[in-house]
Structure 1
């Protein structure tokens, strides 16, 4: 076994300086955080097409990986849909590793050094996120459920359920993570940058309170102002950060998506000028399509968007998902359901799968594949917790089939070219990978539970080509670790997981 990574030690030292009262809890959370990241990493080793892995061999309750250079990695059998931190130790030949950063460093495969640093940051930041949580409260009773947007999103402490960089926030100091991370419950003062209106691209209605004559006031995240724009900003909007970190809820107002030019998990979070230009058309299109689904799906509308000549200085204002909740109902990001009592009951999971799959596949048949992962997809719950309907936010990464739209007599809107494809494989990857391999899998927590929930839902679906593919073919998901260690490859890379409907 190796000593803890240097990244953890650095975070511990900084925490001792800025929030010493958390140091004890941080130390207590470090082993569990390492195991959580190692479990995600082991899933990738077991199921992604990593070029330096030459073969895989199951050994009952274990797994042996033969590396291209002759070394061997051994660890437990890997359920690709499991979400608990079940991998505590793996062995590289005879050496035992409980630290994902040191394991990746000693593997020394192509492009592993930078990824190892991300893993160390992910584990340290995850320990910090867990350390900052308030005492546990009961979650099964509606009286204990949050009433605000950010209250639910604060519960998503561990980040992405399957990405080894689930909490990687390079470029953020400990003080900044405490100040801006939603799991720590802060209020963030968004800055306002004045820009002449004739230098901005604006779509939708930019609100009067963010105008000053012929000058537009662009909301800016304070991290972006300090590290990218490198300029002071007038503090103007107190807001609560949501799980994406760069989107914040203004109490009583809209959600503000800000540019945040930092690599979080996999992507740099800026806002392209092209996406600002298309935002009104995309929003209108999404809401028109949702109106065809008998009230089972709502899409949050884009109120206004602005780009001040650069992806580094842009913002989008969106409706709050709570717009679509009646009194007494709750709107919950699916990512928050992992810690939600009814989500563990088989009948609840089956009802949610029927709702989500039914909506997703009906929309796919019409010609739109949602990226319905746990951050973009929200579920409206009754006062007692029953899943009623869905809310979807952030249409930036949907895929649209002109041929399918035309088949249903729907005019093809003026959308960015990257959104358009008639390839059924690309369309199914987008929906199945995010909804089934992401949102539903993480809610279920294991392959057996996912297969059980899906079986009930799939029996009720019409036998379209998409449904048959879901029933019979392997499940496509993004190769998250391969993407992080393949700098020459642009865009998404994919792998296939065992179909959970075929388990056993």
Structure 2
């Protein structure tokens, strides 16, 4: 057995200085965190087109991968849809590894050294996140958005860098990580209005005469902007870390959400806010609201209230309405991020999971046919639950990475909005990858938790769906998924890379 990577020791040392009482729990969580990240890494190794893998053989005793240099990598039979940590040891020839960072170092492949560092940080940060979490009762229904979102402790269900937060100290993770439930003081950075690009209605509460007050994450202010903000506002961090729930006001029935610029690489990429997305935000929001109206009340899309950039991705913010606004007042409904559904216990019911799967596929496929492919992963997609827990409709947020097909819109007689850039495409493969990769290989798979459970839900759900060309492609072709490990090992290749997962129905 090989352990521990330096990241674990570094985090333990920092934690002893800032929160010594948490050290025993952190230490106890490390083995489980290693297994969780190793399971995600094993998924990538067994299902992605990595150039240094020559062959794969599956058998009753597990799965063996032959490397191009002749070495052999052996582990459990892989389930690409599993969310439980079922991989505790992987053998590279005769050496057993229980640690993903050490395994990646042992593989000695191109760019593996840097990726090993990321994996070590992912393990250590995941253990820290788990150590500071209070486990809620499944039947407990939070009131505020941030209370639901702090339940998603482990981050991305399939990315080996699920909790990698390079550039964040232990103290900063505790202060800003949603799983720790902190109150974050956002700075309000004053910028002359004439120097800003603004779309939508920027609220009076975030203005100071001729200056706009741009909500600024404290990490961004300290590490990137190198300046302090004289005024601020308290907010609660959500799943994406850089998006936070503001207090009530801003002419909204629920505290709105603000996406802040955070020029740090979280999971895979730097999460800045481009001028391109600011410029399109109002047009996209109005268009999406019109299109959602065609879905018989099954889908709501949160409105973008206003967006601003001071001509820099480092100083920008987007203000959105809360998904909670789409729970009928006084009805007892609640709005739950799909990534948090596993904490409710509801997906354990095959009938419930089939109903939810049917609802999600109905909405996603109808919208795709009209001409819009959603990035419907468990963070962007939310479900409205009735007082009894039944899934009744969906809510979608963050339009920055959807895809819009002018040809499909025109086919349905829908006016094509004035959009440019990466969002616009008529490429069928790109459209289907966007939806199927996020919804089926992401939100639905993550909620089901295994290939067997996902198979049952899909079998039940697809019986009632119109057999469109998109549905046929979904049922008959491998399920597209982002090749997350390949992407981290290909730093010189821009954009997304893809793989095809074995279809759970086949």
Cα deviation code 1:195-218 (max 9, x no counterpart):
111000000111111111111111
Aligned counterparts of 2:405 and 2:86: Cα–Cα separation in 1? 40
- SS of 1:161 mapped into structure 2: coil
SS in structure 1 at match of 2:295 = coil
Give the deviation of 1:488 after TM superposition.
1.5
- Paired position in structure 2 for 1:304: 306
* SS of residue in 2 equivalent to 1:49: coil
TM-score by length of 1: 0.98
Partner residue of 1:163 out of 159, 171, 191: 159
Distance in 2 (CA, whole Å) between partners of 1:99 and 1:235 is: 44
1:266 aligns with 2:286: no
Query: Tell me, what secondary structure is at the counterpart of 1:500?
Result: coil
Structure 2, unmatched stretches of 5+, are: 249-254
**Counterparts of 1:127 and 1:402, CA distance in 2:** 46
Instruction: Deviation per CA, 1:176-204: give whole Å up to 9, x if none.
Output: 00000000000000001111110000001
SS of the residue 1:307 aligns to: strand
- Selected match of 1:285 from 284, 287, 292: 287
Q: Could you say which residue in structure 2 is the equivalent of 1:374? A: 378
Query: Aligned partners of 2:481, 2:169: CA distance in 1, in Å?
Result: 32
Residue 184 (structure 1) aligns with: 180
Contact 1:189 1:235 in 2 (8 A): no
1:247 alignment partner in structure 2: 243
How much has 1:422 moved relative to structure 2? Answer: 1.1
Helix, strand or coil for the counterpart of 2:21? helix
Counterpart for residue 333 of structure 2: 329
Structure 1 distance, partners of 2:21, 2:94, is 39
Question: Runs ≥4 in structure 1, deviation > 2 angstroms?
Answer: none
The alpha-carbon deviation at position 59 of structure 1 amounts to 1.8
Counterpart for residue 66 of structure 2: 66
Q: How far apart, in 1, do the equivalents of 2:3 and 2:274 lie?
A: 42
Shift of 1:447: 0.4
SS at structure 2 position matched to 1:194: strand
Work out which of the residue numbers 422, 425, 428 in structure 2 matches 1:424: 428
For 1:235 and 1:70, locate their aligned partners in 2 and report how far apart those are by CA, in whole Å.
61
Q: CA deviation at 1:3?
A: 2.2
CA distance in 2, matches of 1:458, 1:425: 21
- Separation of aligned partners in 1, 2:402 and 2:137: 36
- 1: CA distance, partners of 2:87 / 2:58: 16
What SS is found at the alignment partner of 1:501?
Answer: coil
Q: Secondary structure at the match of 1:81?
A: coil
Residue 152 (structure 1) aligned with residue 136 (structure 2): no
Matched position secondary structure for 2:106: helix
User: Which secondary structure does the structure 1 equivalent of 2:500 belong to?
Assistant: strand
- CA distance in structure 1 between the aligned counterparts of 2:231 and 2:97, rounded to whole angstroms: 46
- Supply the distance in 2 between the matched residues of 1:24 and 1:159 (Cα, whole angstroms): 22
- Give the aligned partner of residue 409 of structure 1: 413
Find 1:493's aligned residue among 487, 494, 497. 497
> For residues 265 and 224 of structure 1, what CA distance do their matches in structure 2 show?
17
After TM superposition, list the pairs within 5 Å mapping 1:447-462 onto structure 2.
447-462=451-466
1:275 alignment counterpart: 277
Superposed displacement of residue 416, structure 1: 2.7
Q: Which residue of 1 aligns with 2:353?
A: 349
Q: Which residue of 1 aligns with 2:445?
A: 441
- TM-score normalised over the length of structure 2: 0.98
SS class of match (1:146): coil
Matches within 5 A, 1:72-221: 72-134=72-134, 136-139=135-138, 141=139, 144-221=140-217
1:425-480 residue CA offsets vs partner (Å, 9 max, x unmatched): 11110000000000000000000100110111111111110011111111110000
Match of 2:251 in 1: none
Q: C-alpha distance in 1, partners of 2:346/2:276?
A: 41
CA distance in 2 between partners of 1:16 and 1:168 (Å): 20
Q: Matched residues in 2 for 1:338 and 1:171: separation? A: 30
Tell me the CA shift for residue 110 of structure 1.
Answer: 0.4
Using the alignment, how far apart are the partners of 2:125 and 2:503 within structure 1?
A: 33
1:246-283 Cα shifts (integer Å, max 9, x gaps): 00001222100000000000110110011101100011
User: Does 2:15 correspond to 1:42?
Assistant: no
52-61 vs 22-31, which deviates more?
52-61
Q: CA RMSD in A?
A: 0.8
Q: In the alignment, is residue 20 of structure 1 matched against residue 20 of structure 2?
A: yes
Cα distance in 2 for partners of 1:38, 1:52 equals 19
Residue correspondences, number: 498
State the alpha-carbon separation in 2 of the partners of residues 304 and 7 from structure 1.
40
Structure 1 unmatched runs, 5+: none
Is the contact between residue 247 and residue 255 of structure 1 (CA under 8 Å) also seen in structure 2?
Answer: yes
